[in-house]
Amino acid sequence: MSRRWYAALLVVCFLAIVMGGGCSTSEQPLPAQQPEPFAAPEAHNMFRVAYAAITERFVDPVSAEQIALDGLSGLATIDPALTVAKLRNDVELDVAGRRVMSLQTPKARDLEGWAQVSVQIWRAARAHSTRLAAVPQEGVYEAVFDRMTAALDANSRYATPDEARRNRQRRDGYHGIGIGVRMEGDAPVISEINGASPAERAGLRVGDVLVQIDGRPTSGLSQAEVEALLQEEVTGRVRLTVHRLGRTSLRFVVPRSYLIPDMVKERYEDGILFLTISHFNRDTADDIARTWEGLSAPPAQQIRGIVLDLRGNPGGLLQQAVKVADLFLADGPILSTRGRHPDSVQDYVAGGDDITHGLPLVILIDGDTASAAELTAAALQDRDRAIVIGSTSYGKGCTSGLYVGDPDAFDRLLSRPSAMSAETGRSTCPAEKRDGTVDLELARRLIDQPDVFADALHRVSLVAQVPEGAVP
């Protein structure tokens, strides 16, 4: 049985929140090539796992019937002639307005029954729609699960295997040489080189055009294919031929190593440490701690405050959001999560020293600050530890979990963070992208004037405690 789908992820957000009888066929052109065989066992397992994950862990009760019917309606995005609906006690499949299948409706919470119905409807639809039959199985999964998760809430979504791989690499790391690639026409060009990576040590440069990878010409390859070649082996070396402007072809032999993308950038200026976090991956909190510990004695003694820039940060790992907040808290609660599943009840408490010993902390956010980044900002603001500056954040108000197709590989629970429930009344700026210098300058002035910072922190604390509509 094919296991391509095991890499696919269902991202389900916890909000008050991842064979017919006779008929005429729809008139459509024949596919250019023979459709791939329908892998019914794979599809059945995929549906069963997805239905179980959502019905067990979605914060509000939802039935297998509801999500199955929502998902099957997504077949119409591939072929508008297809209609799936429940009529009384039957699930009906129509093609161009004609009934081609009628199945008895399983009980609303019958996971196995609805997985079987989903496979039978899909099989029958393939038999009567050349357009659907021509779409690879992964493309149908995408259409079905996109419609299914869209019906749950605005943040749940289905990630294809390629998307899942990229997300996993950003979150957990990967084996590679430490370069980013973009396509310029038909040519893969190095767009970025990670610091202290094998690529940097070997002498590769941004702008180098990759001509060959291990002797294979890159012409005609997609970006995904190029990236796969660079990461093809877990260990070993990759031989590259590159074209550099003003030079003839250059050859490099670069060792692969395990790399975790650097998501923290630091800048020290006039007594203020600026930390920009672009994403929360498995190394984010340790990166910040290492940055602080690595400061030489004189700058560390002269630092008057810290600016944590979370603008444009879409989130990431919940545990890292907690650990980053913990770096700036000596004790007490950080955040709590609550959900319908018992394992979703979690309370996170600070368990160490404030590494900065109470230095003024300002956090910058904007309309693109979401998820884990929002949690860090809210937790530190709620504990009167930081002043938050910027526009209203994205407002996701939830954590997300990653569910893979393999039923044995569910890696964590989803839940709703109670720390985000007290946001009412705080935000006065509309959600917008803010990447200019105005917020940075305001943060600098707050740190430069300790009395003003203390007064602003006090006012934020009062706003957090008053009812909606009241202003202290």
Rounded percentage of the chain residues whose pLDDT exceeds 90: 53
For residue 193, the number of C-alpha atoms closer than 13 Å in the C-beta half-sphere is: 17
Residue whose tokens read 């879409």? 314
Average pLDDT rounded to a whole number, residues 398-416: 36
Domain boundary among 140, 163, 186: 163
Question: Does 41 fall in a domain?
Answer: yes
Q: Which of 428, 423, 274, 241 is nearest to 362 (CA)?
A: 274
Q: Is 356 in the same domain as 228?
A: no
pLDDT (tens digit per residue) in 122-150: 999 999 999 999 999 999 999 999 999 99
Q: Are 301 and 425 members of one domain? A: yes
pLDDT over 70 (residue 261): yes
Quote the pLDDT of residue 170: 76
248 in the same domain as 271? no
Which of 134, 163, 192 lies at the terminal end of a domain, its last residue? 163
Q: Read off the DSSP letter of residue 13.
A: E
Which of the residue ranges 143-157, 342-356, 431-445 would you say has the lowest mean pLDDT?
Answer: 431-445
**Cα 73 from chain centroid (whole Å):** 25
What end-to-end distance do the CA atoms of the chain give, in Å? 64
| pLDDT mean over 408-428 | 29
The mean of the pLDDT values for the chain is 81
Whether residue 8 has pLDDT greater than 80: no
Residues 140 and 235 in one domain: no
Identify the bridge partners of residue 431 per DSSP, sorted by sequence position.
none
The identity of residue 8, as a single letter, is A
Task: For residue 168, tell me if it sits in a domain.
Answer: no
pLDDT at 95: 97
The confidence band for 19, taking pLDDT boundaries of 50, 70 and 90, is: very low
Q: Is residue 124 part of a domain?
A: yes
Rounded distance between C-alpha atoms, residue 384 and residue 373, angstroms: 17
pLDDT digits (tens, 9 = 90+) for 79-114: 999 999 999 999 999 999 999 999 999 999 999 999
Residues 274 and 403 in one domain: yes
* pLDDT confidence tier of residue 160, bands split at 50, 70 and 90: confident
Domain co-membership, 342 together with 248? no
| CA–CA distance, 274 with 265 (Å, rounded to integer) | 8
In degrees and rounded to multiples of 5, residue 23 shows phi and psi of -170, 170
Rounded mean pLDDT, 336-355: 85
Q: What is the mean pLDDT of residues 31-38?
A: 64
Strand partners, 174: 259
Task: Give the residue-averaged pLDDT of 424-432.
Answer: 43
Q: With bands split at pLDDT 50, 70 and 90, how would you rate the model's confidence at 168? A: confident
pLDDT at 407 over 60: no
Just list the catalytic residues. Answer: 371, 382, 396
Q: Which residue has the tokens 């340790």?
A: 286
What lies within 8 Å, CB to CB, of 365 at 6+ separation is 310, 311, 373, 374, 377, 388, 389, 390, 391, 393
Q: Which residue has the higher pLDDT, 385 or 5?
A: 385
Minimal CA–CA distance to 18: which of 69, 61, 52? 52
Question: Which of 377, 360, 385 is closest to 427 using CA atoms?
Answer: 377
Q: CATH code at 292?
A: 3.90.226.10
Long-range contact set of residues 230-236: C-beta below 8 Å, sequence gap at least 24: 230/176, 230/177, 230/179, 230/181, 231/174, 231/175, 231/176, 231/256, 233/175, 234/175, 235/175
Pair of tokens at residue 387: 């002043």
Q: What confidence tier does 397 reach under pLDDT thresholds 50, 70, 90?
A: low
CATH number of the domain bearing residue 209: 2.30.42.10
Polymer length in residues for the chain = 472
Percent of the chain with pLDDT over 70: 79
**What distance in Å separates the CA atoms of residue 445 and residue 71, rounded to the nearest whole number?**
52
pLDDT band at 437 (very low <50, low <70, confident <90, very high): confident
Question: For residue 404, is it within any domain?
Answer: yes
By residue range, what is the domain housing residue 396?
264-465
Domain boundary among 103, 129, 163: 163
Reported as a single tens digit per residue, the pLDDT across 187-229 is 999 999 987 789 999 999 999 999 999 999 999 999 989 988 9
Strands (DSSP E) along 256-373, which ranges? 257-259, 264-269, 272-277, 305-309, 333-338, 346-349, 361-365
Is 64 part of any domain?
yes
Do residues 461 and 323 share a domain?
A: yes
> Does the structure show a pLDDT above 70 at 15?
no
Same domain flag for 421 and 345:
yes
Do both 220 and 348 map to the same domain? no
Task: Give the model's pLDDT for residue 402.
Answer: 44
Q: Which range among 126-135, 299-308, 364-373, 452-461 shows the weakest confidence by mean pLDDT?
A: 452-461
Neighbour-count burial of 172, counting CB atoms closer than 10 A to its CB (0-12 exposed, 13-18 middle, 19+ buried): middle
Same domain, 277 and 423: yes
Residue 421 pLDDT > 50: no
| Same domain for 325 and 436 | yes
471 domain residue, yes or no: no
Residue 398 pLDDT greater than 60, yes or no: no
DSSP labels, 51-103: HHHHHHHSSS---HHHHHHHHHGGGGGT-TTEEEEEETTEEEEEETTEEEEEE
| Res. 472: pLDDT tops 50 | no
Which DSSP string do the residues of 205-233 spell out, in sequence order?
A: -TTPEEEEETTEE-TT--HHHHHHHHTSS
pLDDT of residue 425: 31
Asked if the structure places residue 472 within a domain, the reply is: no
The answer for residues whose C-beta is within 8 angstroms of residue 441's C-beta and 6 or more apart is none
The per-residue pLDDT for 31 is 44
- Select the more confidently predicted residue: 171 or 78: 78
pTM of the full predicted structure? 0.71
Domain count of the fold of the chain: 3
